[in-house]
């Protein structure tokens, strides 16, 4: 099976999971409005460190983020819905949710926010992941940045601009 076919299958699978998750959340929230406040939180779990065999370094584990129906946004940046992201970015979101494996050793590394476009947070708060660019001979310019609180951002121009990723 070709890489492109695998990517399309992954994107369809992720989109289906998102759609079914939204349908499930909608049915649940209309049935149990009293417990709604607890279902709108974002849960993040992190392990301490893992070893990267290829590079011999250690870095914090990838955040495993379970996103619930959140009505608040983390920033005032423009938004992009998951459905509007390129297929490669949707695939990366799936890898982030399942904690990899990631194609590049830099994936999951600390994003330092040197450009100061994202909300100011303590060092180590943000992690970055490569979104492959078709036709590029290197990692390309596209990235997904994930905050420790579960917020997600997309850049198509190597950190010159960001859009906050929203579920719908």
Q: Which of 91, 128, 151, 164 is catalytic?
A: 128
The single-letter DSSP state of residue 146 is E
Q: Give one DSSP letter per residue of 23-68, joined into a string.
A: HHHHHHHHH-GGGHHHHTS-EEE--S-EEETTTTEEEPPPPEEE--
Residue 98 CB contacts under 8 Å (≥ 6 apart), including other chains: none
| 97 included as an active-site residue | no
**Is residue 128 within 8 Å of 106, Cβ to Cβ?**
yes
Answer positive or negative: Cα dihedral of 85, 89, 95, 96.
negative
Q: Which residues of 3-23 are buried (b: 16+ CB within 10 A; e: fewer)?
A: eeeebeebbeebeeebeeeee
| 128 included as an active-site residue | yes
Instruction: Report the C-alpha gap between 61 and 10 in whole angstroms.
Output: 22
Q: Which residues are catalytic?
A: 128, 158
């Amino acid at each position: 099976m070709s890489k492109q076919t695998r990517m399309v299958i992954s994107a369809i699978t992720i989109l289906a999971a998102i759609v079914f998750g939204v349908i499930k959340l909608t049915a649940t929230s209309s049935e149990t409005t009293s417990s709604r406040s607890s279902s709108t939180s974002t849960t993040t779990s992190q392990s301490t460190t893992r070893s990267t065999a290829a590079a011999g370094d250690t870095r914090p584990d990838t955040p495993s983020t379970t996103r619930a129906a959140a009505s608040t946004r983390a920033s005032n940046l423009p938004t992009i819905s998951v459905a509007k992201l390129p297929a490669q970015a949707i695939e990366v979101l799936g890898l982030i949710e399942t904690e990899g494996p990631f194609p590049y050793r830099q994936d999951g590394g600390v994003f330092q926010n040197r450009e100061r476009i994202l909300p100011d947070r303590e060092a180590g708060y943000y992690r970055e992941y490569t979104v492959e660019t078709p036709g590029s001979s290197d990692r390309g310019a596209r990235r997904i940045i994930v905050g420790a609180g579960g917020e997600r951002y997309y850049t198509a121009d190597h950190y010159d601009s960001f859009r906050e990723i929203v579920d719908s």
